[in-house]
Amino acid sequence: MKLRMYHRKDAFSALWFLAPSLIGFAIFYVVPFAEGMYYSFLDAPMHGSFVGLANYKELFQSDSFRKAALNTLLFTAVSVPLMLLLSLLLALLLNQNAYFRKWMRTAYVMPLVVPVASIVLIWQALFDWNGAVNAWFVDLGWARIDWMKSEWAFGVLVVVYLWKNIGYNIILFLAGLQSIPKDYYETAYLEGAGPLRRFTSITLVYLTPTMFFVVLMSVLNSFKVFRETHLIAGDYPHDSIYMLQHYMNNGFQSLDLQKLSSAAVVMVACILLGVSVFFWLEHRFRQFME
């Protein structure tokens, strides 16, 4: 009986401390999103009539929306595997006793604390028509490339995304690597297991929960790449980097709230579906390991 009372007191104390955050989250996120979802079924934001799924039908018939959705999915499909592979390789390197380990840790963590506007200024200086990269090309006798107004813009955006977010994933992988007991590697070495065998049978197995989390965070961050894209290329960038956030931002500027709300609901639904799939896969993997 006393134990139940203590649990109730702990639960009440936890809710009391969480109440300000929960109230703020509800006011600034949940309520506006619910209101936007409601507007997506109306034909006008003020005194509108219920039109059902007409706004969504018109949304999927829009060439701009389809282009933005395909570009966003393509960016996620390309950048997330690259992020996972590079961050894991660098974490494995930094986990060794390399003499430049401290310098590399600092170099990869720095983008996390630098404001996005400052980062964009650096990349603009690199990939502008008169930027540093084109200056190097001219010195080598090569032609200039209009990076942000050609198909190269997609590659530049992937590089910016990787450079900005890779440090956080390296920290996660380093924490996962350092939590693996060294005894497992020593036992496997004594039993004749090679480096590849130790990596696949020990490192990857114990890093799987971390990998799920890294993939999940990388996918979510890939949907937030609009800040960098907008600051580098403006409201109407090259077609290859025209993302869902551009579509919604332009809809907001033109006060087309119905399409804006419908696009936001579709994007949130896709994110929730992806997150649910990741959690399902993680749950199945844990059951398999047990």
- Residues 43, 54: contact at Cβ < 8 Å? yes
Quick check: is 50 in a domain? Answer: no
pLDDT score recorded for residue 78: 93
13 and 116 belong to one structural domain: no
Question: Lowest-pLDDT range, 40-44, 107-111, 149-153?
Answer: 107-111
Tell me the mean pLDDT in the region 42-64.
Answer: 84
The torsion angles phi and psi of 142, rounded to 5 degrees, stand at -100, 165
pLDDT score recorded for residue 233: 77
Q: Given a cut of 70, is residue 61 above it in pLDDT?
A: yes
8 and 95 belong to one structural domain: no
Quick check: is 48 in a domain? Answer: no
Q: Given a cut of 70, is residue 23 above it in pLDDT?
A: yes
Domain coverage including residue 1: 1-39
- Residues 275, 216: contact at Cβ < 8 Å? yes
277 and 201 belong to one structural domain: yes
* Residues present in the chain in total: 290
Burial, 40: exposed, middle or buried (Cβ in 10 Å; 0-12, 13-18, 19+)? buried
Quick check: is 47 in a domain? Answer: no
Quick check: is 228 in a domain? Answer: yes
Quick check: is 45 in a domain? Answer: no
- Residues 170, 94: contact at Cβ < 8 Å? yes
pLDDT score recorded for residue 120: 74
59 and 34 belong to one structural domain: no
- Residues 162, 82: contact at Cβ < 8 Å? yes
208 and 240 belong to one structural domain: yes
The tokens for 215 are 């993939």
Is the CA virtual torsion 205, 207, 209, 213 positive or negative? negative
Upper half-sphere CA count for residue 82 (Cβ side, 13 Å): 16
**165-188 pLDDT, tens digit each:** 888 888 889 888 888 888 888 888
Query: What span, in angstroms and rounded, lies between the C-alpha atoms of 146 and 152?
Result: 8
Q: Given a cut of 90, is residue 280 above it in pLDDT?
A: no
33 and 134 belong to one structural domain: no
**219-262 pLDDT, tens digit each:** 888 888 877 787 777 777 888 888 888 888 887 777 777 888 88
Query: What span, in angstroms and rounded, lies between the C-alpha atoms of 62 and 203?
Result: 46
pLDDT score recorded for residue 79: 93
Alpha carbon distance, N-terminus to C-terminus of the chain: 34
13 and 112 belong to one structural domain: no
| DSSP helix/strand/coil, 186 | helix
**96-108 pLDDT, tens digit each:** 765 666 666 677 7
pLDDT score recorded for residue 71: 92
Tell me the mean pLDDT in the region 115-120.
Answer: 73
CB atoms closer than 10 angstroms to residue 155: 15
32 and 71 belong to one structural domain: no
Quick check: is 174 in a domain? Answer: yes
Quick check: is 168 in a domain? Answer: yes
**32-45 pLDDT, tens digit each:** 888 888 888 887 77
154 and 69 belong to one structural domain: yes
Strand partners, 50: 42
